[in-house]
Amino acid sequence: MLPITETVKKMKSVSPFVFAMEAEQRKAALLEAARLLRENAGAIFEENKKDLALADGLALPLKKRLVFDPVKLETVCKGLEELAGLPDPVGRVTLRRELDRGLVLSRVSVPIGVIGVIFESRPDALVQISGLCIRSGNCAILKGGSEALHSNRILFSLMRQAALSAGFPEGAYALAETRDEIGELLSCDAYVDLLIPRGSNSFVRYIMDNTRIPVLGHAAGVCHIYVDAAADLSRAADVVLDAKTQYPAACNALETLLVSRRIAPAFFSVFADRLRTFEEKSGKKLRILGTPEVAALFPCEPAKEADFGHEFSDLTLAVRIVADADEAIGHINRYGSHHTDAILTEDDRTAERFFRLVDSAGVYRNCSTRFADGYRYGFGAEVGISTSKIHARGPVGVDGLLTYKYIIEGSGQTVAEYADGEKTFSFRDLPC
């Protein structure tokens, strides 16, 4: 394999030809990929077994993510077919304006160019993300986890074969395999337009801190729920429990609960009942870290200052009592990670204030923070969730892999004519 720099330099040079492909070719590549994956199912499972055999030392959750079985195969194939069926995201005209007679400006969606994707363990992520890159006309260099080496190799070679058969140029897609190639990739800001890291927080933070390439993602998900004085306490207890326990390892799971002082005794009493039921049914136990004021109302361990703003990613919850929505908002903007935060209230004005003042990618009322997800937003497929305010924020669908270019069609116009006052701009928006 060529060194990474050579690979992405070549990729950059072929990327305009990928931009210029017809929508039908990109669609055909996705359908062919699904067909090839199903046709080679046996071989794929064989390769995956090799990875699993070498993974004895791994923790159980990591091993689970490494498995690529008939269920996962069918899920990714259906995903590719759904992507193929979506309206073409490339070449959409989002602005058309007559600047003057015979001088028309258009803004057209185009692929970003060369995407670097670095992900841990899950072989299904390789298929999903390369599918999104094919759909959006982007080239991609993919770096998977070494524990999935055999699975990634066969999956990548089938995706690549599908792309080539649909007319994608040689060199549009590449797989990087060794860990030291990450460092080289991070230095390729001349050729790679965007990096998408998928993995643990420390992994994403490392990528963000060590490259000048723009990074799409989030390093932390410290989500809050504020139970307001005007909350429906029974529904509030359900939502809090869901946000904390339904999948605690997710970035959109609840980490800190803020409760209005005015309803704290009543809320904790309802919550204690609900928690008891949950613990009995699941056999799991929630660990509550509370301030002294919480401890007076609810059995808990003492919370340290560092517990607020911390992403536990397990069944631990930090709890604090606040005076009102404004104190909750101040806490969230200070300690949060600007991912997703919710208020539980029946009061419209308080909710409106919370929506305006909380500076997060997702701001919710009366539902679980766990809804922060591209599938649940109806985006079909998800590139990742961004806590950046630049380019894309929140769950990012295929639109996050697109930019635009401005096209002007003229008939010989010079700027001097307008600067001299001989001609003037008329600025008339046309239908797109």
Measuring CA to CA, how many Å separate 361 from each of 186, 248, 341, 394? 26, 20, 9, 5
Cβ at position 232, least distance to a second copy in Å: 7
Q: How many residues bind a second copy (CB under 8 A)?
A: 76
Measuring CA to CA, how many Å separate 232 from each of 115, 258, 345, 347, 358? 46, 15, 7, 10, 21
Out of 32, 242, 255, 307, the only residue in the binding site for a second copy (CB under 8 A) is 242
- Structure tokens given for 129: 């993300």
Q: Restricting to residues 178-197, name those near a second copy by CB under 8 A.
A: 193-194
Residue 31 or 108 with smaller CB distance to a second copy? 108
- The yes or no reply on residue 20 touching a second copy (CB under 8 A) is yes
Cβ at position 422, least distance to a second copy in Å: 12
Residues of 158-181 as b/e, b for ≥16 C-beta within 10 angstroms?
bbbebbeebebbebbbbbbeeeeb
Q: Pattern of binders to a second copy over 200-229, x per CB under 8 A?
A: ---------x--x-x---------------
Cβ at position 110, least distance to a second copy in Å: 8
Residue 277 or 414 with smaller CB distance to a second copy? 414
- The yes or no reply on residue 71 touching a second copy (CB under 8 A) is no
- The yes or no reply on residue 25 touching a second copy (CB under 8 A) is no
CA distance 15 to 312: 41
Residue 299 or 330 with smaller CB distance to a second copy? 330
- The yes or no reply on residue 390 touching a second copy (CB under 8 A) is yes
Residue 50 or 205 with smaller CB distance to a second copy? 205
Out of 5, 17, 45, 286, the only residue in the binding site for a second copy (CB under 8 A) is 17
End-to-end CA distance of the chain: 45
Q: Return the H-helix or E-strand segment holding 295.
A: helix 292-295
Cβ at position 429, least distance to a second copy in Å: 8
Q: Are 155 and 174 in contact (CB under 8 A)?
A: no
Report which DSSP code applies to 341: E
Q: What are phi and psi of 166, to 5 degrees?
A: -90, 0
Which is it for strands 139-143 and 173-176: parallel, antiparallel or unpaired?
Answer: parallel
CA distance 152 to 222: 31
Chain centroid, CA 422 distance in Å: 51
Q: Nearest-CA neighbor of 186 among 177, 173, 196, 200?
A: 196
Q: Restricting to residues 315-344, name those near a second copy by CB under 8 A.
A: 329, 333-334
Cβ at position 371, least distance to a second copy in Å: 6
Out of 74, 177, 232, 327, the only residue in the binding site for a second copy (CB under 8 A) is 232
Cβ at position 35, least distance to a second copy in Å: 28
Q: Restricting to residues 91-120, name those near a second copy by CB under 8 A.
A: 97, 99, 103, 105, 112-113
Q: Pattern of binders to a second copy over 346-365, x per CB under 8 A?
A: -----x-x-xxxxxxxxxxx
Measuring CA to CA, how many Å separate 275 from each of 184, 241, 291, 330, 368? 49, 7, 19, 28, 16
Out of 4, 7, 10, 15, the only residue in the binding site for a second copy (CB under 8 A) is 15
Cβ at position 150, least distance to a second copy in Å: 31
Out of 149, 291, 388, 423, the only residue in the binding site for a second copy (CB under 8 A) is 388
Q: Amino acid identity of 403? A: T
Cβ at position 3, least distance to a second copy in Å: 20
- Structure tokens given for 184: 């080289």
Owner of token pair 């766990």: 370
Q: Restricting to residues 367-386, name those near a second copy by CB under 8 A.
A: 367-368, 370-372, 376-378
Cβ at position 214, least distance to a second copy in Å: 4
Residue 313 or 413 with smaller CB distance to a second copy? 413
Q: How many residues does the chain have?
A: 432
Q: Pattern of binders to a second copy over 392-421, x per CB under 8 A?
A: -xxx-------xxxxxxxxxxxxxx-xx--
Rg (CA), the chain: 25
Q: Are 255 and 318 in contact (CB under 8 A)?
A: yes
Residue 56 or 409 with smaller CB distance to a second copy? 409
CB atoms within 10 A of CB 70: 11
CA distance 162 to 159: 5
Residue 132 or 329 with smaller CB distance to a second copy? 329
Residue 57 or 412 with smaller CB distance to a second copy? 412
